[in-house]
Structure 1
Amino acid sequence: MSPAQGPTVLIVPGLRDHVEDHWQTHLARALPGAVTVPPLKADRLSRDARVAALDAALAAIAGPVVFAAHSAGVMIVAHWARNHGRPIAGALLVTPADLEVPLPPGYPSSEALAANGWLPVPRKPLPFPSILAASTNDPLGAFDRVAGLADAWGAELVDAGAVGHLNPAAGYGEWPPAMTFLRRLGVSC
């Protein structure tokens, strides 16, 4: 996008990558010029591979960028920010998965997450403005723990209500508040 149009939105999915009726998929269709980090073909649980994929997608974008991350994608952004210096215009961080507590069945074990570099979760302030939307009934991240991440990262915490993990399994496809938050971060939408 040209600077007159505002930042490019870079969508950072979680570990399940691209889900057809997910709010991020709808967002990508609704925002001309939005870019999505492509799914990995190998090393799908590797934090390093996920961070490298984010960095490669970012390198292909000229101009300012705003991240739109969900679940483990939020953690990918936090890990990326520790070691990369490219200026970022902002980040919308939505229902981060709390990888420091055991996840429900069907998700990677704490041992697998640790072995693949996800732990510890970074707790340094993010070097860009961010809005963290947290659910009050997310099975993958208790509100108080996610609020602690927002505080550590210097992110504005937004109570998204009882939206589960804000995914199709929780009954969500399109999520209109995403556009409102992205506008606040300087995106023309």
Structure 2
Amino acid sequence: MNPEQILLLPGWLNSTEGHWQTEWERAHGYRRVEQHDWFTPRRGDWSARLEEVIIDTPAPVLLVAHSLGCILTAWWAAHSRSAHRVRGALLVAPGDVEQVELSAQIPGWAPIVRQPLPFPAVLVGSRNDPYCSFQRAQGLASDWGARFVDLGERGHVNAESGLGLWPEGHAWLESLMRDTDKD
């Protein structure tokens, strides 16, 4: 699969220096889906931008989402006519926008879509993620029909987690690529 067909979906405030998504973009040439406003994300705007990028990218694509990017993936997949172009998704540390604190900072993203994704997915959750409890991450994986991976205690699985190129995460992405190539 061409690296341009692997789309990185950062969360709120974008993925900064030292974030594994930024490292993967540099090392592997994966393409970040740039949003118009990283600071005041609007679900409709972000979803429209994702739709535009997916339509303009040769199918199939793989999504690599972090935090709010996971919530975006579920919302977009439930409303898009282009979801068939996605072969799979790696969903890492979803942000629980139904939490009172996060909902106040990022309004308009709740409720979280709870229907199964129309493509294979792996959801990686951390036991001490301040933005999504471990049990909530497991529940989202179940609702979305995603395989759940317990990452242990790695915080929000972002730059502060110190993962660098995060070879373990990349191995899950490669496994997802292999599994979806069999279809």
1:127 aligns with 2:124: no
Per the alignment, residue 99 of structure 1 pairs with 97
Report the TM-score when normalising by structure 2: 0.88
Task: Extract unaligned runs of 5+ from structure 2.
Answer: none
1:66-145 correspondence runs (5 A): 66-86=62-82, 87=84, 88-103=86-101, 109-111=102-104, 113-114=106-107, 116=108, 118-145=109-136
Per the alignment, residue 12 of structure 1 pairs with 9
SS at match of 2:151: strand
Offset, 1:112: 5.3
Offset, 1:121: 0.3
Q: Do the aligned partners of 1:113 and 1:119 also contact (CA within 8 Å) in 2?
A: no
CA distance in 1 between counterparts of 2:168 and 2:120 reads: 17
Cα deviation code 1:86-130 (max 9, x no counterpart): 211000000001111123xxxxx524544x3x1110000000000
Q: Relative to structure 1, is the Cα distance of residues 110 and 30 closer, same or farther in structure 2, using a 3 angstrom cutoff?
A: same
Question: Which structure's residues are more often helix, by fraction?
Answer: 2
Q: Relative to structure 1, is the Cα distance of residues 31 and 135 closer, same or farther in structure 2, using a 3 angstrom cutoff?
A: same
Aligned-residue sequence identity (percent) comes to 37
Q: Relative to structure 1, is the Cα distance of residues 62 and 29 closer, same or farther in structure 2, using a 3 angstrom cutoff?
A: same
Task: Extract unaligned runs of 5+ from structure 1.
Answer: 104-108
CA distance in 2 between counterparts of 1:158 and 1:11 reads: 19
Report the aligned-residue RMSD.
2.1
CA distance in 2 between counterparts of 1:164 and 1:61 reads: 33
Q: Do the aligned partners of 2:62 and 2:89 also contact (CA within 8 Å) in 1?
A: yes
Report the TM-score when normalising by structure 1: 0.85
CA distance in 1 between counterparts of 2:148 and 2:92 reads: 10
Per the alignment, residue 24 of structure 1 pairs with 21
Greater CA drift, 40-49 or 173-182: 40-49
